[in-house]
Structure 1
Amino acid sequence: MSIMLIALPDIFRGIGVDPLQPGNTSLLLWLIMSYLVVTAVLVVSFGRLGDMYGRTRMYNLGFAVFTVFSVLLSVTWQHGTAGALWLIAMRVLQGVGGAMLMANSNAILTDAFPARQRGLALGLNQVAGITGSFVGLVLGGLLGPVNWRLVFLVSGPFGVFGTAWAYLKLRDTGIRTPARPDWWGNLTFAAGLIALLAGITYGIQPYGGHTMGWSNPAVLTAMGGGGVLLLAVFCVVETKVAAPMFRLGLFRIRAFTAGNLASLLASLGRGGLMFLLVIWLQGIWLPRHGYGFTETPLWAGIYMLPLTLGFLVAGPVSGWASDRFGARAFATGGMLLAAASFGALQALPVDFGYPGFALILLLNGIGMGLFAAPNRAAIMNSLPPDQRGVGAGISTTFQNSAMVLSIGIFFSLMITGLAGALPRALTTGLTAQGVPAADAAKVAALPPVGVLFASLLGYNPVRTLLGPRVLDHLPPGHAAYLTGREFFPRLISQPFSDGLAVAFGFAIAACLIAAVASLLRGGRYVHDDGRARHPADGTAAVAPAAAVAAAPSPVAVAGTPGSPATKDPAASTGPGGATTGPAPAARTDPPSPPASPPPPSRSP
């Protein structure tokens, strides 16, 4: 996503799409959103299929699918709308592979590592993903100006290597639960979520004489009658079928529910952040500091690196620490720090000094890193081993759906802020440079979403909107100023600042509520996956062959939802019904079963 987002100006110039033409806003939105929508819709289904047929099998197939369609993104020979539609179609199919990867990667790691190491393992996995985003930001800025096709082709060698490595090295260590596919559940869930997310996507586009489409009957029908109603039907279906796709009983697990609620709110808070930062840097700050519009994608990626660096530092450290002390303090503290950093961004002037901006981005990345690995580890630790694929899919669905919703909310708040001040600013600024009032009024009627996307693409729309008929009749100095890199960024700075204040206010609220949800998750909780048994005589647990018990730290061990929990005799009841107390020391046996059962060790 990051490499494409930074390279969007070059991609749109390469296929010859003018973002200000009617209807092209929809193309830009779907190029951005289609991948997120597809992954949100399919990730639970692929997680369930991984539980049934093998997680590494689904993961390996996902790597291959993702790689094939990454390459096909670059091979279109079409231009204009046809070229954009090809890219959107390939992004949709690329999202199918991405959903297979997302649904099963966390479950594979949870299967492979004991509870005392999962936070670190998941933190390192997230670091790998964030490193890819970091490289993507720079590569997108470097390769896009050379040739937009290279932005997609560069994924090919990495994808081929990753696919081959996965097929050669990954082994399935999870528990398979053969079952028949839940066709009605899959159908109602996919249709409902697609309708809901498509409604959000079209809701931020102009409709009739309105700046946005939230009053569009089609949007209201898609979100209410289509999305919400079908998802309600899906919930009913899942209570009736023998092998449901979406295990609603998992929400009886407090750690699972609280962790997913916190993840959803955190994604709402940060989902639109990358877009706002790109608009802020490419459309306003960099041009005002002497960078040409063709240079802004590369430098925007470079200037956003502190955000990535903060996540890289905090992710594995917080994951390692949560293995020893639990997730609650780190995840809650991370959300509080993220909220504070959004408040600092809200207080910055649009034309900020970079050192302060970089420090705030660093703190925001640290806050998100403190939250992400511990929260994900706590969610995965709470799941029964045969439900880790679908549980990871549910968690990713919440996260990706929230990101689509966040983009819709952030853009809506930005458009609302722009709509109040932008027309007057455009009219006043243009007439001051000698543009006739009638022509200035036409430019001022530009929908605010068009201004937002022009800024996202690092694009000065004045030349296109006024055209040679008006510009040729202006004094040369005025015409050069209007079409240069100073006029438009300065003109939209104050309206943009008004929108930013509202958007960051929403992000602060979402992060604070996420902190409360994280705080309510209870004590450390690790589901009993059958790796440890507690003999009746009070002796310590003995791990069966090829298994590792939980760490010698306070944990809660639960049975399957709706069944009694397996408790350590020395444990006491903790918050939320979880058992707490010193878990017995773990022991790892060799892969082959011993000739006779090993004698139990004495309790410490």
Structure 2
Amino acid sequence: MTTPSAVPEAVHRRRWAILGVLMLSLLIVVLDNSILNVAIKTISTPAPTGLGATQSELEWAINAYTLVFAGLLFSAGLLGDRLGRKKVLLGGLVVFGAGSALAAFASSPNELIGFRAVMGLGAAFVMPATLAVLMNVFERDEQPKAIGIWAGGVGLAIAIGPITGGALLDHFWWGSVFLVNVPIVLLALALMVWLVPDFRDPDPGRIDPVGVALSVVGLVLLVYGIIRGGELADFTDVTVLGTIAAGLAVLAGFVVFEKRSDHPSIDVTYFKDKVFSAAIAAITLVFFALMGVTFFAVFYTQSVRGYSPLETGVLMLPLALAQLVFAPRARLVVDRFGNRATTTGGMVLIAAMLGAFATLEADTPIWILEVVFFLMGTGMAHIMTPVSVVIMQSLPREKAGSASALSNTFRQVGGALGIAVLGSVLSAAYRTGIEDELGAVPAGARHAAGESIEATLAVADRLGPTAAPLVDSANGAFLHAMHVTAVCGAGVAVLGALVVAAFLPGRQREAPATERAHGGEETAEAVTQGGGAS
């Protein structure tokens, strides 16, 4: 029996042009983070070149964006379901563009952190709406292909970002990496008004302000405690343990509240589905590992190896190109080998490449780093496409915003925790390795000098030629800290591989997610009763 089309013919005819506009909107959100990855060293440089941000302030500049983004995604998905996804997309782009312009002219690290939070607010309304509209304009049999192209757009943004950021930093001031978003936002707004239709859920859920507040407060406390522990190089400090414990307690309260609410932000009972939970876990763990690695890779290439921001952007190109090439084709591998084998293989490959980072030294041939980046991108492509399809097809079409919000929330949470945890491991290991070498540094400056390699090198610049041994010690301490951090990241990726190997369906079991979406009335009913899991 042929299923009647759920997509209006006029929309169906221009679906690929609509996909292009959605990818442009997605490009802005991802581009900003990939540009920032190259710029963090420049921003950490003292004024007038940068803002003199410490490593903990850099972590907050990244995580202020991701935490606001993650905390508001469900409410954004729900508002898209209720008000219309096109309206939410347009509003999110306007806020993101305004935040970008403000961030470009920030005069202190704290201002930058605040304006990055504004950008996260806008991005929270952009990201889920792009995937939700995609699910509305493509028929079900074309959705995996469209999602693959959408995921390839992420790779394109990651490819363009570092090179664009490097080129801007070679010719302009650090704020240009944010100001470049503004003209792209204006172009996306014009094309969206012209091409993209509006969709909404005929039966949207209610907003859950208490749940949103609990999730944001819990995550901020948890991340603050982790970053503070790295800054002090002491995770047994009472304030560190107290803040982490408070964050975990608030998050536990969030879960209890959501289970009892008649309109939860997240229908936590949905995670009883092992396949769905495994797919979410895969996204969370892979971004935990990769975001932490990206954070220290920039300091390795620029601070230890001496490459410029533009050269660093070029060096990171294989990571992005591999995603761009393989993400749209990953569905073919899934068709042949199944979700379990494809995703497990991707996680194992990423774990191996993270382990390879633990072998890099100051004089390692640079082509080895290029191979590592390319294989990491390959593994990433064979994780994101299959798990995105599993997640998006777990909910009916009218709940596409909810599925997208789930996927992106846990991606952002994983990335934020990865930067916080692995960044703190890096910071603590570096301080331990460098503190005995800071004897020539004035006593009042030793704590700040030991926080990061950039802080140490800034002090060495002021000390002049006599500081050459300190520079060598800083490089050695950083390499040791990077090796420790890479091994931790590899361990997280191995955990992800075990989870997906145990719970994702194999080739013979690829149908359940589709069957649940087409015929799983209980699932659809549970989602509707739970406020759309938005």
1:174 offset after TM fit, Å?
5.5
Question: 1:528, 1:559 within 8 Å by CA — same for their partners in 2?
Answer: no
Partners of 1:385 and 1:323 in 2: CA distance: 22
Q: Which residue of 2 aligns with 1:451?
A: 452
Going from structure 1 to structure 2, the CA distance change for 1:18 and 1:219 (only over 3 Å counts) comes to: farther
1:130 matched to 2:155? The reply is yes
3-state SS of the aligned residue for 1:383? Answer: coil
1:521 matched to 2:504? The reply is yes
Find the partner of 1:41 among 54, 68, 71.
Answer: 71
Q: Which residue of 2 aligns with 1:239?
A: 259
Question: 1:384, 1:559 within 8 Å by CA — same for their partners in 2?
Answer: no
Find the partner of 1:372 among 370, 375, 384.
Answer: 384
Partners of 2:41 and 2:491 in 1: CA distance: 32
AA partner of residue 185 (structure 1): G
AA partner of residue 515 (structure 1): A
1:338 matched to 2:300? The reply is no
1:278 offset after TM fit, Å?
0.3
Partners of 1:49 and 1:233 in 2: CA distance: 24
1:418 matched to 2:419? The reply is no
AA partner of residue 105 (structure 1): T
Going from structure 1 to structure 2, the CA distance change for 1:449 and 1:300 (only over 3 Å counts) comes to: farther
The count of residues paired between Structure 1 and Structure 2 equals 488
Residues 294-305 of structure 1 mapped to structure 2, 5 A cutoff: 296-305=308-317
TM-score, normalised to structure 1, is: 0.74
Going from structure 1 to structure 2, the CA distance change for 1:443 and 1:181 (only over 3 Å counts) comes to: closer
3-state SS of the aligned residue for 1:148? Answer: coil
AA partner of residue 364 (structure 1): M
Going from structure 1 to structure 2, the CA distance change for 1:5 and 1:271 (only over 3 Å counts) comes to: closer
Partners of 1:441 and 1:75 in 2: CA distance: 33
1:104 offset after TM fit, Å?
2.3
Q: Which residue of 2 aligns with 1:561?
A: 523
Going from structure 1 to structure 2, the CA distance change for 1:335 and 1:39 (only over 3 Å counts) comes to: same
| Identical-pair percentage | 26
Q: Which residue of 2 aligns with 1:279?
A: 299
Partners of 2:276 and 2:385 in 1: CA distance: 14
1:502 matched to 2:484? The reply is yes
Q: Which residue of 1 aligns with 2:473?
A: 491
Q: Which residue of 2 aligns with 1:91?
A: 116
Q: Any gaps of 5 or more consecutive residues in structure 2?
A: 1-32, 527-534
Partners of 2:356 and 2:251 in 1: CA distance: 38
1:127 offset after TM fit, Å?
2.0
Question: 2:431, 2:452 within 8 Å by CA — same for their partners in 1?
Answer: no
Partners of 2:394 and 2:410 in 1: CA distance: 17
AA partner of residue 521 (structure 1): L
AA partner of residue 8 (structure 1): I
Partners of 1:150 and 1:497 in 2: CA distance: 30
Question: 2:103, 2:112 within 8 Å by CA — same for their partners in 1?
Answer: yes
Instruction: Note the alpha carbon deviations across 1:522-553, whole angstroms, 9 max, x for none.
Output: 2223345886xxxxxxxxxxxxxxxxxxxxxx
Q: Which residue of 1 aligns with 2:248?
A: 228
1:119 offset after TM fit, Å?
2.7
AA partner of residue 39 (structure 2): A
Question: 2:316, 2:370 within 8 Å by CA — same for their partners in 1?
Answer: yes
Instruction: Note the alpha carbon deviations across 1:66-114, whole angstroms, 9 max, x for none.
Output: 11221222245xx4xxx33322221111110111112222222223333
Question: 2:291, 2:418 within 8 Å by CA — same for their partners in 1?
Answer: yes
Question: 2:69, 2:120 within 8 Å by CA — same for their partners in 1?
Answer: yes
Partners of 1:372 and 1:440 in 2: CA distance: 47
Find the partner of 1:403 among 385, 401, 415.
Answer: 415
Going from structure 1 to structure 2, the CA distance change for 1:364 and 1:112 (only over 3 Å counts) comes to: same
1:66 matched to 2:96? The reply is yes
Find the partner of 1:105 among 121, 127, 130.
Answer: 130
Partners of 1:376 and 1:98 in 2: CA distance: 19
Going from structure 1 to structure 2, the CA distance change for 1:354 and 1:75 (only over 3 Å counts) comes to: closer
1:120 offset after TM fit, Å?
2.5
Q: Which residue of 2 aligns with 1:583?
A: none
Going from structure 1 to structure 2, the CA distance change for 1:167 and 1:202 (only over 3 Å counts) comes to: farther
Q: Which has the higher helix share?
A: 2
1:311 offset after TM fit, Å?
1.4
Instruction: Note the alpha carbon deviations across 1:214-272, whole angstroms, 9 max, x for none.
Output: 344443333222x2222222222223332222112321333211100111111222121
Question: 1:53, 1:178 within 8 Å by CA — same for their partners in 2?
Answer: no
* Deviates further, 328-337 or 410-419: 410-419
1:159 matched to 2:195? The reply is no
Partners of 1:496 and 1:325 in 2: CA distance: 41
1:4 matched to 2:36? The reply is yes
TM-score, normalised to structure 2, is: 0.83
Partners of 1:443 and 1:219 in 2: CA distance: 23
Partners of 2:377 and 2:189 in 1: CA distance: 30
Partners of 1:558 and 1:530 in 2: CA distance: 6
Going from structure 1 to structure 2, the CA distance change for 1:218 and 1:40 (only over 3 Å counts) comes to: farther
3-state SS of the aligned residue for 1:98? Answer: helix
Residues 519-598 of structure 1 mapped to structure 2, 5 A cutoff: 519=501, 520-522=503-505, 523-524=509-510, 525-527=512-514, 557-561=519-523
Question: 2:350, 2:375 within 8 Å by CA — same for their partners in 1?
Answer: yes
Partners of 2:524 and 2:105 in 1: CA distance: 52
1:258 matched to 2:275? The reply is no
Q: Which residue of 1 aligns with 2:222?
A: 196
Q: Any gaps of 5 or more consecutive residues in structure 1?
A: 428-437, 472-477, 532-556, 565-604
Going from structure 1 to structure 2, the CA distance change for 1:351 and 1:444 (only over 3 Å counts) comes to: farther
1:490 offset after TM fit, Å?
3.1
Residues 341-356 of structure 1 mapped to structure 2, 5 A cutoff: 341-356=353-368
Question: 2:231, 2:451 within 8 Å by CA — same for their partners in 1?
Answer: no
Question: 2:67, 2:216 within 8 Å by CA — same for their partners in 1?
Answer: no
Instruction: Note the alpha carbon deviations across 1:276-296, whole angstroms, 9 max, x for none.
Output: 11011111012xxxx5xxxx2
CA RMSD of aligned residues (A): 2.9
1:463 matched to 2:488? The reply is no
Going from structure 1 to structure 2, the CA distance change for 1:388 and 1:254 (only over 3 Å counts) comes to: farther
3-state SS of the aligned residue for 1:344? Answer: helix
Partners of 2:54 and 2:357 in 1: CA distance: 31
Instruction: Note the alpha carbon deviations across 1:407-435, whole angstroms, 9 max, x for none.
Output: 122123223433443234x35xxxxxxxx
Question: 2:100, 2:119 within 8 Å by CA — same for their partners in 1?
Answer: yes
AA partner of residue 460 (structure 2): V
Partners of 2:41 and 2:427 in 1: CA distance: 21
* Deviates further, 317-326 or 349-358: 317-326
1:442 offset after TM fit, Å?
4.1
Partners of 1:394 and 1:530 in 2: CA distance: 16
Question: 1:253, 1:382 within 8 Å by CA — same for their partners in 2?
Answer: no
1:142 offset after TM fit, Å?
1.6
Partners of 1:440 and 1:260 in 2: CA distance: 47
Q: Which has the larger radius of gyration?
A: 1
1:35 offset after TM fit, Å?
0.7
Going from structure 1 to structure 2, the CA distance change for 1:496 and 1:10 (only over 3 Å counts) comes to: closer
Going from structure 1 to structure 2, the CA distance change for 1:327 and 1:181 (only over 3 Å counts) comes to: same
1:334 offset after TM fit, Å?
0.8
3-state SS of the aligned residue for 2:364? Answer: coil
1:49 offset after TM fit, Å?
2.2
Q: Which residue of 2 aligns with 1:567?
A: none
Question: 1:116, 1:323 within 8 Å by CA — same for their partners in 2?
Answer: no
AA partner of residue 69 (structure 2): T
Going from structure 1 to structure 2, the CA distance change for 1:34 and 1:61 (only over 3 Å counts) comes to: same
